[in-house]
A = this chain, B = another copy of it.
């Protein structure tokens, strides 16, 4: 094993587009520094200089839209342009759910309208702790019994070390079952 210093090796993480409303205009931002916070909440971590924070801190709502290959070019685009200077409101078609100021992406395979339950500040970032109120999915990504089926849906992932997007690959096995093979030995 080679020691490469204090490098973060937790990647890949799922890529998302965060939707908000700032001064009455819809805005989108590409965010992949995300994760789980218990089993009912998510962390969306956004660098402080980003314009999106203005909307999030005022509204206390956001949308979290998952990215597949169909919207990846546009997702990356809303990560390399700032709403301070560019009107990004028309990059995606949007729809609204029950929350105010949480516009979601019609072309996304999965979109969550979320409340911001807490904002935990560190020197460089706002860490938003959010809960989905409603989750909207394209019906073709659901299993026969209505679950999100990752054999039908391949979210785009992100890795920082070489700054690339990766495909979600095939299913390997069942969690909480595979380990029984070890027990049986």
| A residues lining the B interface (CB < 8 Å) | 1-14, 16, 30, 32-43, 45, 47, 64, 66, 69, 72-81, 91, 95, 97, 106, 110-112, 120, 122, 124-125, 127, 131-139, 142-143, 146-150, 154-183
Q: Are A172 and B181 in touch, CB under 8 angstroms?
A: no
From B159, B166, B176, A163 is in contact (CB under 8 Å) with B176
Most buried by B among A91, A125, A136, A178: A178
Q: Provided the pairs A1-B137, A38-B127, A134-B6 are in contact, do residues A179 and B120 lie with their beta carbons within 8 angstroms?
A: no
A168–chain B nearest beta-carbon distance, Å = 6
Q: Provided the pairs A171-B166, A172-B167, A182-B74 are in contact, do residues A10 and B5 lie with their beta carbons within 8 angstroms?
A: no
Of chain B, the residue at the smallest CB distance from A149 is: B162
